[in-house]
C-alpha cells in the first residue's frame, strides 16, 4: 500500500476536536504525575524479572517492552491495590505479570493479523522471525506466571491461589473474545454480539487487573466486586474509544500499519452503521470492507458519518463511563479512587495517549 495513501488524513465529524491541542491543566498534570509514578515502578520490576540475558530469545521478548506502551493494565493492578488501602509495593510482581502477559498477547496477535508494525516499531515476528516470536511470547507468559508465585511470602499461598484463579479465568475469557474478533464470518456481528466481544476481549483485561490488585490489597468482597465491575465497563469504553482512534488515526499516531477500516475489524461504528444503513449503503460498506480497498477509506468514514455512528460511539462511551464510576461510590476516598474517577472522565473526552508511559530503560 502506498505510503501517501496510508497517511492520508480522513475527514470526519470529530476532526476539529481530535486535532485540537490543549495545554495540560492542573488536573491532567496530576493524572500524569500519579500514573507515571506507577509506570516507573512497573518498568523497574519488569527489568528485574527479565534480567540481563542477551540471547536472541530474550532480545525478542524485550522488543515491544522497550518500545514503550501505555502500561494501563499493570498500573490498574496497583490502583486496585491502593483503592482498598493496600500497599502497592507488594503488588508489583503481580502488576509486572499483567504487562508481560499483555505483551505476549500482542506478539501472538501480530502474527495472527500479519501486522508489520506495533508500538511504532517492527513487530517481533518481522524483526526476529515467526518461530522466535512465538517462543518469545511463550517465554513472557511463563515469566508472568512465575512472577505471581513470588508474592507467596508477602501475601500468603492462599492469596496466590486466588490470584492465579483470576488470572486464568481472565485469560480464558479474553482468548474467547479474541477468537470472536478474528473468526471468519460472511456477516458482521450484531451490536449485542459486538458488545459481548468487547466485554470479553478488553473489558475483562481491566476487570482482571483491578480484581487481582484489590485481592492483593486485602479488599473486602464488596470492594473487589465494585472495582471488578468498574474495570469491565471502563474496558468496554476503552475499546470503543480505541475503535474510533483505530478508524480515524494515522499509522504514525496509532503505531499500527493500517487503519481498522482496511483491516475489516469489527468496530462499534461499522456494527452500528450496518445495523442502521439502507440496503444500498450496507452493500457498499460490506463490499469495501471485504475488498480492504485502500483508496476507499474516506467513503467508509462518510457512510459512518451519514448514520451518526461516531456520535453513537461517543454516547455509548459516556454511558459506560458513568455506569463504571457509580460502582466506586462504596470505596473510601483515596488517591487511587480519585485517579480512577478522573481517568474515566478523561477517556470520555479524548484518547488516553497523553498518559502514555515513558520508554523502558
Residue whose grid cell is 499509522? 251
pLDDT of 105 higher than 80: yes
pLDDT of 18 higher than 80: no
pLDDT of residue 223: 96
pLDDT of 14 higher than 50: no
The more confident residue out of 260 and 299 is: 299
- Mean pLDDT for 177-181 is 85
Please give the backbone phi and psi of residue 82, each rounded to the nearest 5 degrees, phi first.
Answer: -70, -30
pLDDT of 17 higher than 70: no
Phi-psi region of 120 (alpha: psi -120 to 50; beta: other; left: phi over 0): left
Short-list 228, 231, 225, 243, CA closest to 316 = 243
Q: Is 31 in contact with 342 (CB distance < 8 Å)? A: yes
- Mean pLDDT for 108-124 is 86
CA distance linking residue 260 with residue 246, whole number of Å? 5
pLDDT tens sequence across 268-278: 999 999 999 99
Confidence of residue 109 (pLDDT cuts 50, 70, 90): confident
C-alpha cell at 327: 460502582
Domain 25-347 in CATH 1.10.600.10: yes
Average confidence score pLDDT of the chain: 83
pLDDT tens sequence across 276-291: 999 999 988 888 887 7
C-alpha cell at 227: 472495582
pLDDT of 1 higher than 50: no
pLDDT of residue 22: 47
Short-list 120, 343, 133, CA closest to 237 = 343
The more confident residue out of 48 and 297 is: 48
pLDDT of residue 184: 66
The more confident residue out of 155 and 103 is: 103
Q: Is 311 in contact with 273 (CB distance < 8 Å)? A: no
Lowest mean pLDDT among 80-89, 102-111, 244-253, 339-348: 244-253
pLDDT of residue 309: 92
pLDDT of 19 higher than 50: no
Q: Which of the listed ranges 17-21, 113-117, 144-148 does the model predict with the highest average pLDDT?
A: 144-148
pLDDT of residue 15: 45
Residue whose grid cell is 513470588? 150
Short-list 177, 166, 200, CA closest to 94 = 166
- Mean pLDDT for 73-90 is 92
C-alpha cell at 221: 468482597
Q: What is the DSSP letter of 329?
A: G
The more confident residue out of 351 and 248 is: 248
Say whether pTM exceeds 0.75: yes
pLDDT tens sequence across 223-259: 999 999 999 999 999 999 988 887 776 544 444 544 5
**Counting every residue, how long is the chain?**
361
- The residues facing 117 across adjacent strands are 122
User: How far, in Å, are 130, 268, 273 from residue 279 at the CA level?
Assistant: 42, 19, 11
pLDDT of residue 259: 56
SS3 (DSSP) at 118: strand
SS3 (DSSP) at 101: helix
pLDDT of residue 294: 61
Burial class (CB in 10 A: 0-12, 13-18, 19+), 130: exposed
pLDDT of 347 higher than 60: yes
Burial class (CB in 10 A: 0-12, 13-18, 19+), 361: exposed
pLDDT of residue 235: 95
For 31-78, give the DSSP string: HHHHHHHHHHHHHHHHHHHHTT--SHHHHHHHHHHHT----HHHHHHH
The more confident residue out of 23 and 30 is: 30
C-alpha cell at 345: 472522565
Amino acid at each position: 500500500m502506498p505510503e501517501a495513501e496510508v497517511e492520508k488524513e480522513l475527514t470526519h465529524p470529530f476532526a476539529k476536536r481530535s486535532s485540537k491541542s490543549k495545554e495540560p491543566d492542573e488536573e491532567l498534570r496530576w493524572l500524569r504525575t500519579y500514573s507515571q509514578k506507577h509506570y516507573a515502578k512497573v518498568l523497574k520490576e519488569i527489568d528485574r524479572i527479565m534480567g540481563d540475558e542477551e540471547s536472541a530469545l530474550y532480545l525478542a521478548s524485550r522488543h515491544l517492552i522497550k518500545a514503550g506502551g501505555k502500561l494501563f493494565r499493570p498500573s490498574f493492578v496497583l490502583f486496585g491495590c491502593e483503592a482498598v488501602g493496600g500497599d502497592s509495593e507488594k503488588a508489583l510482581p503481580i502488576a509486572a505479570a499483567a504487562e508481560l502477559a499483555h505483551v505476549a498477547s500482542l506478539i501472538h496477535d501480530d502474527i495472527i493479523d500479519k501486522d508489520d508494525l506495533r508500538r511504532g516499531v517492527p513487530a517481533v515476528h518481522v524483526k526476529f522471525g515467526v518461530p522466535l516470536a512465538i517462543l518469545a511470547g511463550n517465554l513472557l507468559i511463563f515469566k508472568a506466571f512465575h512472577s505471581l508465585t513470588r508474592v507467596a511470602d508477602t501475601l500468603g499461598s492462599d492469596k496466590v491461589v486466588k490470584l492465579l484463579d483470576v488470572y486464568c479465568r481472565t485469560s480464558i475469557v479474553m482468548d474467547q473474545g479474541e477468537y470472536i474478533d478474528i473468526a471468519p464470518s460472511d456477516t458482521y456481528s450484531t451490536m449485542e454480539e459486538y458488545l459481548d466481544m468487547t466485554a470479553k476481549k478488553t473489558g475483562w483485561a481491566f476487570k482482571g487487573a483491578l480484581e487481582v490488585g484489590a485481592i492483593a490489597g486485602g479488599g473486602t468482597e464488596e470492594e473487589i466486586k465494585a472495582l471488578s465491575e468498574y474495570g469491565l465497563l471502563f474496558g468496554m469504553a476503552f475499546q470503543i474509544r480505541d475503535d474510533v482512534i483505530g478508524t480515524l488515526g494515522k499509522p504514525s499516531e496509532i503505531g499500527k500499519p493500517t487503519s481498522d477500516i482496511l483491516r475489516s475489524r469489527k468496530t462499534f461504528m461499522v456494527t452500528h452503521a450496518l445495523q442502521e444503513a439502507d440496503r444500498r449503503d450496507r452493500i457498499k460498506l460490506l463490499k469495501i470492507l471485504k475488498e480492504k480497498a485502500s483508496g476507499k477509506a474516506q467513503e467508509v468514514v462518510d457512510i459512518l458519518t451519514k448514520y451518526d455512528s461516531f456520535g453513537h460511539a461517543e454516547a455509548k462511551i459516556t454511558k459506560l463511563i458513568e455506569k463504571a464510576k457509580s460502582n466506586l461510590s462504596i470505596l473510601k476516598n483515596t488517591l487511587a479512587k480519585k485517579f480512577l474517577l478522573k481517568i474515566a472522565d478523561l477517556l470520555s473526552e479524548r484518547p488516553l495517549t497523553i498518559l502514555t508511559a515513558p520508554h523502558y530503560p
